[in-house]
Chain A
């Protein structure tokens, strides 16, 4: 069996970079250690260079378990761009605190290798290995500040929930293997199709167990309670990684198992995920209203955003290829539009927090006067998360409404109703931060905001991307529209 090395080149490049980073960290000493950050950035750029030529191809290797099509390429590019942005906001944060820099970048890269595998995996075994490759470095990164009580608490909560969810998911997978005799996603879809309309309850239970395992990863209510504590205790760039990249990886896995493997039973899981979407966005937004800590506000807002991304799952129907296609495209577009502003918001938080340790909303008072550029950037990012012009967030909401209109049944309109109600609620807390930044006076004796060159450049690039995609949404919507995940099945 020949291996298609071009198909796995991005993963190979990141693997090599991770090992080089770990070795170079051994050689460098003192302040020079921060040079591993640009090294990792070069690795990410080379990986992007190997990913772009795969566009338009339809490759399959390792006996069909690893597939590279346009859908996988789009998600891989989202992951690699967010890797670059996270490296940008990590540089000064870790260089100044001087703890475990080489280890941090090594773990970050390893976690991203798992993410790159996720959208290509077409076998439950590979999905499971990819999920663990994302999670296990994440447990360590959450607890990276070893002497900090909050950090070790974040790590233990994340770890216990993570292993429990994996154990539940594996039990579901083992039952699914017992029923179908295969772990390949398309094979499972074929076998499930033969059960017809009266599947045994145990089969449905194992299906739901597998979905629950991914539900923890994307922090959907009621599997969300680890997320705010873990984000708040982790170093801020790690929280950005967990809120954006790790969540996207969970969605990639969820799309693969639901829309490919469990497609014949869409009547069972689509309403369940739709109801979860309603609870997730409502609870996330209502609790976010009451937060005073900026990291926790962003954490609850990311729970609510996961709810929006779950809406298209509630629209799915078995056999309706065009509706499912529109649903997957809406989710991928929303993920792409959510990545830039959310990493950017964490980046501004790093800039405010880095020297001073400020992290509550009151600490943002008068940011418009103290550092107009950062305040302007934060305003753009929050507007985009809320879905207001002139940002890409507006089109992201539109993509979901469009997919809902395509489905066109009553449940779809109920979901869209909750989407609109929640978008209004979300503006209360996003605009509260904007109001605090521009309309209130700073306290006396506040530390100056000194973001540094790297962070300013990354923030400027993310602002530029957020506004550019508002003007030219075709840049990603054409790409997501070309991804035929469901049609390219088998």
Chain B
């Protein structure tokens, strides 16, 4: 298997995620887009580990991917709580509505 396939997939996922963060106004969808970006990172790490740096004795790439998964789970846990709290306060999860403070 060549490296190019996974890398193109990862770059595509990353761009989709970045577009989602820019374009979506729903806080939950923004959160999902960030998760897409993190998954692109994981694909990159695992692909590099398995196809380019196979002789690494401590499997750095795969271990790193595990850490990314764990931290992403923690981030989503906190993030959904914050979004939920915003929904209870103002009955909306549109991030454009969060405009009490400017400049």
Contacts and interface: CB of A to CB of B under 8 A. Distances in A.
Interface residues of B, number: 42
A-side interface size class = 35 or more
Interface string B34-56: 10011011001100100011001
B63 interface: yes
B74 interface: yes
A99 to B, nearest CB: 13
A182 B64 CA distance: 11
A163 B67 CA distance: 15
Interface in A142-184: 143, 146-150, 152-157, 159-160, 163-164, 166-168, 170-171, 173-175, 177-178, 181-183
Name the residue in A152, A166, A181 with the highest tally of chain B Cβ atoms < 10 Å from its Cβ: A152
Interface string B14-37: 100100010000010011001001
B56 A181 contact: yes
B98 A164 contact: no
B60 A156 contact: no
Contact of B75 (A163, A173, A182): A163
Interface string A465-481: 00000000000000000
A154 B60 CA distance: 36
Nearest to B85: A152
Contacts of A154: 101
A183 B98 CA distance: 38
Main secondary structure of the interface of B (DSSP, over half): helix
B100 interface: yes
B85 A136 contact: no
A125 interface: yes
Given A152-B86, A156-B86, A177-B64, A128 B71 contact: yes
Nearest to B74: A136
A153 B101 contact: yes
A45 to B, nearest CB: 29
A156 B98 contact: yes
B57 to A, nearest CB: 11
A139 B82 contact: yes
A28 interface: no
Given A132-B74, A181-B56, A149 B17 contact: no
Interface in A189-245: 228-229, 232-233
A107 B93 CA distance: 25
Contact of A125 (B41, B63, B103): B63
A213 to B, nearest CB: 12
A129 interface: yes
Contacts of B31: 163
Contact of A150 (B64, B71, B81, B101): B101
Given A149-B90, A155-B85, A181-B56, A171 B41 contact: yes
A140 interface: yes
B67 A125 contact: yes
A156 B44 contact: no
A89 B82 CA distance: 25
A294 to B, nearest CB: 14
B78 interface: yes
Contacts of B37: 167-168, 170-171
B100 A160 contact: no
Contact of B71 (A132, A228, A290): A132
A421 interface: no
B67 A164 contact: no
A108 B103 CA distance: 27
Contacts of B67: 125, 128-129
Interface of B: 10, 14, 17, 21, 27, 30-31, 34, 37-38, 40-41, 44-45, 48, 52-53, 56, 60-61, 63-64, 67-68, 71, 74-75, 78-79, 81-83, 85-86, 89-90, 95, 98, 100-103
Given A149-B89, A170-B37, 19 more contacts: A128-B71, A132-B75, A136-B78, A139-B78, A149-B90, A153-B86, A153-B98, A154-B101, A156-B86, A163-B75, A163-B79, A167-B41, A171-B37, A174-B10, A174-B41, A177-B64, A178-B48, A229-B102, A232-B101
25 contacts: A125-B60, A125-B64, A132-B75, A136-B75, A140-B78, A140-B82, A146-B85, A150-B101, A152-B85, A153-B98, A154-B101, A156-B95, A160-B27, A163-B79, A166-B75, A167-B34, A168-B37, A170-B41, A173-B41, A174-B64, A178-B44, A181-B56, A229-B101, A233-B100, A290-B103
The 5 closest A-B pairs by CB, nearest first: A174-B44, A167-B37, A178-B48, A181-B53, A170-B41
